[in-house]
Amino acid sequence: MRETPSNLTLKPGDTIGILGGGQLGRMIALAAARLGLRCHIYAPEAANPAYDVAAKYTVGRYDDEAALRGFASSVQCVTYEFENVPAKTVEILSSRVPVRPGAKALAVCQDRVLEKQLARDLGATTADFVSINNLEELVQGIATIGTPSILKTRRFGYDGKGQFVIRKAEDAATAWAAVAGSPCILESFVPFLREVSVVAARGLDGIVKAFPVTENEHRDQILRRSIVPATLHPVTARSAIDIATKIATALDYVGVFAVEFFVVGENEAETVYVNEIAPRVHNSGHWTLDGASTSQFEQHVRAISGLPLGATAPTAAKVEMTNLIGDDVLDWHSLMAEPDTQLHLYGKGEPRPGRKMGHVTRFFGR
Ligand code: AMP
């Protein structure tokens, strides 16, 4: 079969281009190196965690066409470690080299309305939602959806940024001012018991492999801890994985992605609501580095390279990943002394409040 951008596969010695140089890019580059692949990082910052471990890096803006063309000509495939990659950047790159996941998946996952609509179209449950473009629509939306509800910017939100909880109809003007008039989604407040995620990969051949469902605890809107297995009825876990599989297939997705869910109700009434789709490796999958047969980073490299996906079974009865946020990292020395704990540091320098500096993985029953 003739190789085209859509079926091109990589072999050891080839180079993967990664847009973004944070810890996710760093961990993708480390996994690629183990498989004999090289990584070339492209990011605007002068210093970055991923540069330290990659074969090559280019400091460039995401709208610098000449620099992007040079980058594209030095790699066999491009991926990204963050979802806010400008569409134009992907357009410039994909005319020269395969970009995986592709433009369609990125466009849907960048927009909270499109991703919730896709989930609904595929038969999944979500919070009730309406898209909001001005204050009048917000007032109308609150009347329809009720309170409490949450106003979120459609694009560029992460870790709870760009969100406003509406407790009463009179909050409309304050909420609209808080999002500075950006296009938004208004969502009903979901009375969830737990938050879980499915991290999975879809290969170039369309095969999807999911890791076991992960339970996630947040503190100050930032992921604090992930635990596997999640407290979830096996039927509910199966349905979460089925939804994730349908989403990836509908988007013709290639690579690792995460679907975040709210768990509502218990026992027979237990249901999952899709909250968000992340078109990239995900913090709630970091436990796989030490706790699964294949890590999410290696799985991503395999998927975007057109290679067979690896096994996703956990290697312990229970695995727990805790993020080291801000000053938590100062405990690195004592964490390293714990007998059954794996420490990962991202090489970020000074800890700042809210900054993800590293993580630890702990095992129970292995
Ligand atoms: P998000 O940026 O959409 O992942 O939201 C950040 C966090 O806000 C979630 O992890 C939830 O804890 C909370 N949240 C977001 N949307 C809702 C909702 N519709 N109902 C209840 N809580 C929500």
Half-sphere exposure of 153 (CA within 13 A, CB side): 15
Tens digit of each residue's pLDDT (9 = 90 or more) over 84-125? 999 999 999 999 999 999 999 999 999 999 999 999 999 999
pLDDT of 194 strictly over 90:
yes
Tens digit of each residue's pLDDT (9 = 90 or more) over 291-334? 999 999 999 999 999 999 999 999 999 999 999 999 999 999 99
Tens digit of each residue's pLDDT (9 = 90 or more) over 335-351? 999 988 999 999 998 99
Work out the average pLDDT over 281-293.
98
The answer to whether the CB of 160 is under 6 A from ligand 1 is yes
Categorize the per-residue pLDDT at 158 as very low, low, confident or very high, splitting at 50, 70 and 90: low
The answer to whether the CB of 171 is under 6 A from ligand 1 is no
Work out the average pLDDT over 341-365.
95
At residue 159, the pLDDT reads 59
Place of tokens 């947040």: 218
Work out the average pLDDT over 4-18.
91
Q: Which pair of structure tokens corresponds to residue 36?
A: 């004999």
Rounded CA separation 243/320 (Å)? 24
pTM here is 0.96
The answer to whether the CB of 115 is under 6 A from ligand 1 is no
Which residue has its alpha carbon closest to ligand 1 atom 5?
160
Q: Are the CB atoms for 162 and 112 separated by under 8 Å?
A: no
Tens digit of each residue's pLDDT (9 = 90 or more) over 45-95? 999 999 999 999 999 999 999 999 999 999 999 999 999 999 999 999 999
pLDDT of 151 strictly over 90:
yes
pLDDT of 3 strictly over 80:
no
The answer to whether the CB of 195 is under 6 A from ligand 1 is yes
Rounded CA separation 171/165 (Å)? 9
Q: What angle do CA 15, 19, 21 make, to 5 degrees?
A: 100
Q: Which atom number of ligand 1 is nearest to the Cα of residue 158?
A: 2
Q: Are the CB atoms for 259 and 276 separated by under 8 Å?
A: yes
Tens digit of each residue's pLDDT (9 = 90 or more) over 239-256? 999 999 999 999 999 999
Q: Are the CB atoms for 227 and 319 separated by under 8 Å?
A: yes
Rounded CA separation 1/331 (Å)? 54
CA 11 to ligand 1 centroid distance, Å:
40
Categorize the per-residue pLDDT at 219 as very low, low, confident or very high, splitting at 50, 70 and 90: very high
Which residue has its alpha carbon closest to ligand 1 atom 18?
189
The answer to whether the CB of 278 is under 6 A from ligand 1 is no
pLDDT of 180 strictly over 90:
no
Q: Specify the amino acid at residue 127.
A: A
The answer to whether the CB of 150 is under 6 A from ligand 1 is yes
The answer to whether the CB of 221 is under 6 A from ligand 1 is yes
